[in-house]
Copies of this chain bind each other. A is one copy, B any other.
Amino acid sequence: MAGVRAQQKEKTRRALIHAALNQLCPESSFSSLSLREVAREAGIAPTSFYRHFQNMDELGLTLVDEGGLALRQLLRQSRQRIADGGSIIEISVHTFMDYVTNNKNIFRLMLQEQAGTTKEFRLAIAREIDHFKKELTDYLRTERQTEDKLARIQSDAIVRVVFSAGADILDMNAQERAQLTEQTIQQVRMIARGAANLQETSATNP
């Protein structure tokens, strides 16, 4: 059973996703996309859209999920490369910035809908960011022997700084990008240093 039918369906589903992604330029946000235009670019009739998604939001959530998953996989990969030496901070930040650079539209979508109008979107994106925070917290606790609460506060701060810098990177050229990436690495180190310092202090003053 080749599933000629299911195959074709998947194909136009991808076409819809691709069309939506393609229309997400700096000049038009996801929430301003119209079902009709997306359908037009995917080469189907507007009404056929409903054979694949219940509405545009469902399509958007798919984009967020796929994008978040890809980013997490990249970061997990890059963390494994740490064994070969190299700073985890440096590699992770670079990986993140590269992802943003290569997937501007998806990242912009996440930024926009993070403060956006649909609760389901906001939750989906909060979930993605939480995934991050959690993985980072675990790393800090096990690999860096950071005390639990401190690890959570620290990783929260790091994630905030990195995501925020990622947002700024969207409009930058390669040179500015490299510069901001360097600065972000320094800031993450700053946070790590401050956290370590706090831990020492509280250890001697219990």
Q: Report A's interface with B, CB cutoff 8 A.
A: 26-29, 31-32, 108, 111-112, 114-117, 119, 122, 153-154, 156-157, 160-161, 163-165, 167, 170-171, 183, 186-187, 189-195, 197-198
Contact = CB atoms under 8 A, between A and B. Distances in A.
Contact of A193 (B115, B117, B197): B197
A53 to B, nearest CB: 20
State the oligomeric state as a number of copies: 2
A29 B116 contact: yes
Nearest to A161: B160
Task: Among A111, A165, A191, find the residue whose CB has the most chain B CB atoms closer than 10 A.
Answer: A191
The 7 lowest CB-CB distance pairs between A and B, nearest first, are A194-B194, A111-B115, A193-B194, A190-B194, A160-B164, A157-B187, A29-B117
Contacts of A192: 194
A132 to B, nearest CB: 13
Contact of A194 (B153, B165, B167, B195): B195
B117 A156 contact: no
B111 A157 contact: no
B112 A115 contact: yes
A108 B122 CA distance: 13
A117 B191 CA distance: 32
A198 B187 contact: no
Contacts of A115: 108, 111-112, 115, 167, 170
